[in-house]
Amino acid sequence: MGIEYRDIPIGLRSRALLTLMRLVAPPMMMQMASSSPAVLAKLQKRVRTLPWPDVPGIAIAEQNLNDIPGHVLGDLSDTSKPVALWLHGGAFLLPASNMHLSTCAQYCKSLGIAAFMPDYRLIPEHPYPAGLDDCEQAYHALLELGFAPEKVVLIGDSAGGNLIFGLMRRIRKNHIPMPACAIAISPLAELGRAYYPPTLYMRRLRDPLLPLAALPKLAEAYCGETDGSHPELSPLYMKLVGLPPVFILASSNEILMDDAVHLAERCIESGVETECHVWPRLPHAFPLFERIFPEARQALDEMVEFTQRHLPGTKPSTKPVAGELHGKPAAS
């Protein structure tokens, strides 16, 4: 338990790629955050039609659960097995990407479990609480299928990391059994930005992916008419007592590092069994880049190991293997 700053060597190839990413990605992200609704709608459609990954042993299919569309990874028919509910990131703006599906599939393959990744409603057309409502409905859908709460793991990256805490708040508020554990990858923990640590500004030139100036635009679009300090929007301000074991990952170079660390500190203060690993140099939500950065594969292995400790019935098969992914056309 606790917060650990990992001393992981980052190879020269990865460092070169990070330098290139820092030059290219933040301007692209800023342009996306500033785009018109019409342009964003085209971008969302383009992401949805990208080829799916092909991970041997893990089928991927589009399916509606409890009227919530999404991707099923693996087989949900055996409800005696554990299951993952993965809330994808994308700044509340983008649908699940090829990277989300491939990382989730590798995670499921390593544990011998299935997952559901809901296609929750997105901004700018659907601000809070629409997306969180859909995620809550997806959790209910898994329980209605017959999965026991103690065999469910919640996973969220970036905006999805924000959503899993909002979801757990609703689960507790409605007196529904909690999942076995939760994993938050680079969670966005404070949308109101009332808490604005100096390091947030200091890291703006080191973050290889996220532009600092995009955060207020995205937060405003997602919050809508609701104050950004609302606990369902800013987990940093929610009551954390009673949550299941939590594993939080972040990078030392991302502008959201303090979101992750301070959220972990608050979880620990609230008596939640908490592990927080801060990795050097890698980009925001780096486990999703396991096909690009070899170091990120170790983080994915650690997610698997955390799940094995807290989710009964998980049986590791093979660890994520690089080079197993091949393009596959999306279903029409």
- Taking only the tens place, the pLDDT of each residue in 257-301 is 999 999 999 999 999 999 999 999 999 999 999 999 999 999 999
Give the pLDDT mean for 76-102.
96
Claim: this prediction has a pTM higher than 0.85: yes
What secondary structure does DSSP assign to 245-279, as a single string?
-EEEEEETTSTTHHHHHHHHHHHHHTT--EEEEEE
Instruction: Give me the catalytic one of 14, 102, 158, 251.
Output: 158
Pair 153, 182: CB distance under 8 Å: yes
Lowest mean pLDDT among 173-182, 241-250, 255-264, 309-318: 309-318
Residue type, 324: E
For residue 165, give both structure tokens. Answer: 């805490």
- Whether 144 sits among the annotated catalytic residues: the reply is no
Instruction: Give me the catalytic one of 100, 277, 284, 310.
Output: 284
What is the domain partition of the chain in residue ranges? 2-312
Instruction: Give me the catalytic one of 232, 254, 290, 295.
Output: 254
- Whether 158 sits among the annotated catalytic residues: the reply is yes
- Whether 254 sits among the annotated catalytic residues: the reply is yes
Q: State the Cα angle at 155 between 135 and 60, rounded to 5°.
A: 80
**In angstroms, rounded to a whole number, what is the distance separating the alpha carbons of residues 180 and 311?**
6
Query: Is the alpha carbon torsion for 97, 68, 171, 306 positive or negative?
Result: negative
Q: β-pairing, 181-185 with 246-251?
A: parallel
Q: Which CATH superfamily is domain 2-312 in?
A: Alpha/Beta hydrolase fold, catalytic domain (3.40.50.1820)
For residue 320, what pLDDT is reported?
Answer: 39
**pLDDT classification of 326: cutoffs 50, 70, 90:** very low
Give the pLDDT mean for 54-77.
94
Q: β-pairing, 274-279 with 2-5?
A: parallel
**pLDDT classification of 193: cutoffs 50, 70, 90:** low
Peptide bond preceding 244: is omega within 30 degrees of 0, i.e. cis?
no
Reported in sequence order, the residue ranges of 178-245 that DSSP labels E, i.e. its strands, are: 181-185
In the predicted structure, residue 330 carries a pLDDT above the cut 90? no
Pair 98, 49: CB distance under 8 Å: no
In angstroms, the Cα distances linking 223 to 37, 40, 123, 193, 255 are 16, 18, 10, 12, 20
For residue 178, what pLDDT is reported?
Answer: 98
Q: Which of 306, 314, 214 is nearest to 254 (CA)?
A: 214
Q: Average per-residue pLDDT in the chain?
A: 91
More confident of the two residues 190 and 312:
190
**pLDDT classification of 316: cutoffs 50, 70, 90:** low
In the predicted structure, residue 243 carries a pLDDT above the cut 60? yes
92 in the Ramachandran plot: left (φ > 0), alpha (ψ -120 to 50) or beta? Answer: left
**pLDDT classification of 202: cutoffs 50, 70, 90:** confident
